A and B are shown apart, each in its own frame.
Chain A
Amino acid sequence: MAMNMATADAGTGTGTGANAGADNPAGGSDLRLERITKRFGAFTAVDDVSLTIPQGSFFALLGASGCGKTTTLRMVSGLEDPTHGRIFLGEREVTDLKPYKRPVNTVFQNYALFPHMDIFENVAFGLRRRGIKDVKPQVEQMLDLVELGHLARRKPAQLSGGQQQRVAVARALINQPQVLLLDEPLGALDLKLRRQMQIELKRIQTEVGLTFVHVTHDQEEAMTMADTIAVMNAGRIEQLGSPADLYENPVSTFVANFLGQSNLIIGEVTAKDGDTITLDAQGQRLTLPAARSRIDSGRIIAGVRPEKVSLATDAARIPNGHNVLTGGVVSDASFIGVSTQYLVKMPWGSQVGCEEMSVFEQNAGQEIHRPGTQVLLHWDPTQTFGLDGAQDLDAGSDPDDEASDVGAAA
């Protein structure tokens, strides 16, 4: 399954992208990676990745640690040389350019603020190195943009984590790079602050209209901020698309498991008529739209997101046409507040599908099923997606990943 020679959806780019392009003397400055490979000795960190990121979009590289996303980012910034492949900014090839010659700036994971300079000098650093004499107006304007004007003369050590992060962003942004790279910049912040900064960064990007490339392992963060996400796994791009695209129509079990949670069941396709595929899973019959399935014959993995599934104790209450799975017993019910998350033990073994299906039901007043209750699971068949059956069911669901769950709120 080779990776995609992918072009991100231009339609989801930001409105001011065109403006930034007009200002930029280099003209159209899409970031283009052509067959980028990076090897460290015998280890391939990035494997033949090709990618076009249109100017002005907010792009996320999402993946677990070690998947190659940070290495890819470093190659774009020039801090790492690709073993093979080329990198283009618009029409200009930048593959061999040193980082200080590229119109690309990075917001580092640990901010990397110069401890011996105050905030003003940190932000002015890039301008000064490029020979600009009068930096004061621009620095002050940029500090106002990130709301840190009153701290201009403090040293980084005297600022909080969130403030340092904003300085790092300001320091990079002020140089109006063609691409701004963000290397997991929100990792060190606590939850509330992180949410705040996610919104901040999105706002800034919309205002400034530059291309942002954001590297993260937090899929919730990627989905919140980015127009387009590339999910990376073992040096390759598994899938590239908008957040909704990736979430509702994953192309592989890895993406299905990595983004949020999925219930995956192995079955055999029994019929395909028109735009519906019917399959047999452990003796139970399920249907799904052909448009949402990767294959239409043979072994298939049917997937459905937990929030699409409902529990019923009485078969008569189930709406017509729903996919139904029988034989489930509630093994765990966790009241989250917004929703109740159930684990339902199914009669089949773990080789053929998840032993315990996850069901998230919004707490809209219905009864909560106690553990031990025998239940039926049902959902609208059009909410099912189908994947090639010859894949590892557990790919991407490694609990060591720090990827957080997608909220259960529907």
Chain B
Amino acid sequence: MSALTASTDAAASLAPTDRASGKAPAARTSRRRGPLDWVRAHALATTAVLIFVFLLAPNVVMFVMSFNAPVGKYNYIWHQFSTDAWRHPCQVGDICQHMGLSLEIGVVAMIASTILGTMAAFAMSRHRFRARPAVNVLLFLPMAAPEIIMGATLLTLFFSTIGSGSMGFWTIVIGHIMFCLSYVVVTVKSRLAGLDPTLEKAAQDLYATPRQTFLKVTLPLVAPGIAAAALLSFALSVDDYIVTKYTAGDQITFPLYVYGAVQRSVPTQIDVIGSMMMLVTMTGIAGMLVLGRLRARRR
């Protein structure tokens, strides 16, 4: 068609000589590729690898140092290989009791925040209502606020209501649930957003009542998100220091113990327990991946 050829001619004559983008695109002539080309092509990947090293180095160091027999009280410098700490992980202080307390608190906080947060996520993603913007901000604040504010303000609340003597397990749990809620809502909400809305309509079309639709279709499809949210809140709770410090009264969780102990000594057992946590998490995630692959392959 004449129109088509006319437009191609026009396009060719419009080849840019824009200085900002360099010379006009010319036909590529082959030239020898030097080492600099390899770097340029892989610059991004190299940077990413370096950043990953930065992110993962401390984990590796922690794992390696757990096999160290340190000189003196601080396990900072490699001295010699030893599996002593692994064989006696609970030997120092009451480290395992403190870990146990952290785990207990973690489970309670996980269950409560997951249930409450999931309900809230459904409300936020399924319904439009007038207070929505305000609720959005309120749910966002605990994620963005400095932990010290949350801890300090909780302290003033408890101090002025129940007195500093009554603070302990439950005040810790309350604080943990409080900051876990937002993360649960975000996680479940994002899973809900990815859900095909037609599926629930299809269920209704196929005689499922709203309750049946929820139990048979919605819930199974959101379940992975809820599970992820639960694990996230467990991890956040077990690992928390600042908020716990202000709400703990005389209870000592694992992070509180570590922080306090660091002033005086860093026993190898700390690295051991840290490594155990890491191995458990890695095994859990690896297990889920493998399970997913197996289930897909079986079909």
Task: Determine if A88 is an interface residue (Cβ-Cβ < 8 Å).
Answer: no
Identity of the chain A residue whose Cβ is nearest the Cβ of B1 in the assembled complex: A332
Q: Which B residue's beta carbon lies closest to that of A177?
A: B205
Shortest A14–chain B CB gap in Å is 24
Interface check B196, CB cutoff 8 A: yes
Count A/B pairs, Cβ under 8 Å: 66
Q: Which residues of chain A have C-beta atoms less than 8 A from B220's C-beta?
A: 116
A110 to B195, CA, bound (A): 13
Known: A155-B299, A158-B299. A114 touches B204 (CB 8 A): no
- Pick from B198, B208, B299: contact of A125, CB under 8 Å: B208
Known contacts A115-B221, A153-B299, A155-B299; is A110 also within 8 Å of B208 by CB? no
**Contact for A100 among B204, B216, B299, CB less than 8 A:** B204
CB distance from B119 to the nearest CB of A (A): 22
Chain B residue at smallest Cβ distance from A115: B221
A-side interface mostly: loop
The answer, yes or no, to whether A249 is at the interface (CB within 8 Å) is: no
Instruction: Report yes or no: B201 in contact with A125, Cβ–Cβ below 8 A.
Output: no
Q: Chain B residue with minimal CB distance to A109?
A: B198
What's the least CB distance linking B174 to chain A, in Å? 36
For the complex, give the distance between the alpha carbons of A249 and B208 in Å.
Answer: 44
* From B201, B207, B217, contact of A108 by CB (8 A): B201
From B201, B212, B221, B299, contact of A129 by CB (8 A): B212
Q: Which residues of A contact B134 (CB under 8 A)?
A: none
Q: How far is the CA of A101 from the CA of B202 in the complex (A)?
A: 13
How extensive is the interface on chain B, given as a class? Answer: 10 to 19
Q: Is the CB of A112 within 8 A of B208?
A: no
Residues of B within 8 A of A104 (CB): 205
Query: Are the CB atoms of A100 and B208 closer together than 8 Å?
Result: yes
Interface of B is mostly: helix
Residues in chain B near residue A211, CB distance under 8 A: none
Q: Is B82 an interface residue (CB 8 A)?
A: no
**Is A38 an interface position by the 8 A CB rule?**
no
B204 touches A112 (CB 8 A): no
Q: Are A79 and B299 in contact (CB under 8 A)?
A: no
Interface size class of A (residues with CB under 8 A): 20 to 34
Q: Distance (Å) between the CB of B202 and the closest chain A CB?
A: 4
> Across the interface, do A99 and B199 meet the contact criterion of CB distance under 8 Å?
no
Establish whether residues A129 and B206, one from each chain, have CB atoms under 8 Å apart when the complex forms: yes
Nearest CB of chain A from residue B118's CB, rounded to whole Å: 18
A154 to B296, CA, bound (A): 10
- For residue A98, CB closer than 8 A to chain B, the reply is yes
CB nearest to B200 among chain A residues? A112
Residue A21 at the chain B interface, CB threshold 8 Å:
no
> Which of chain A's residues has its CB closest to B298's CB?
A153
Q: Are B204 and A154 touching (Cβ within 8 A)?
A: no
Complex: how many Å from CA A22 to CA B217?
35
Partner of B203, one of A125, A155, A172: A125
Is the C-beta of A105 less than 8 angstroms from some C-beta in chain B?
Answer: yes
B205 contacts across to A, CB distance below 8 A: 77-79, 99-100, 104-106, 172
Interface residues of B in 201-248 (CB under 8 A from A): 201-209, 212, 216-217, 220-221
Cα separation A375 to B183 with both chains bound (whole Å): 75
Measured CB to CB, the closest approach of chain A to B91, in angstroms, equals: 47
Considering the chains assembled together, what is the distance between the CA atoms of A110 and B199 in angstroms? 10
What is the CB-to-nearest-CB distance from B200 to chain A, in angstroms, rounded to a whole number? 9
Q: Looking at the complex, which one of A98, A112, A116 makes contact with B198 (CB distance below 8 Å)?
A: A112
Residues of A within 8 A of B207 (CB): 100-101, 126, 129-130, 175
Within 8 Å CB of B203, what residues of A?
114, 125, 129
1/0 per residue A5-43: CB within 8 Å of B? 000000000000000000000000000000000000000
User: Cα distance A158–B296 when bound, in Å?
Assistant: 9
Bound complex: CA of A44 vs CA of B220, how far in Å?
Answer: 37
Given contacts A100-B208, A112-B202, A125-B203, 9 further A-B pairs with CB under 8 A are: A77-B205, A108-B198, A109-B198, A112-B198, A112-B201, A114-B202, A125-B206, A129-B206, A155-B299
The 22 listed contacts between A and B (C-beta, < 8 Å) are A77-B205, A79-B201, A79-B205, A99-B204, A100-B205, A100-B207, A105-B205, A105-B206, A106-B202, A109-B198, A110-B198, A112-B196, A112-B199, A114-B202, A115-B199, A118-B299, A125-B208, A129-B208, A129-B209, A158-B299, A175-B206, A175-B207
Q: Which residues of A contact B (CB under 8 A)?
A: 77-79, 98-101, 104-106, 108-110, 112-116, 118, 125-126, 129-130, 153-155, 158, 171-172, 175
Residues in B lying within 8 Å of A, measured CB to CB: 196, 198-199, 201-209, 212, 216-217, 220-221, 299
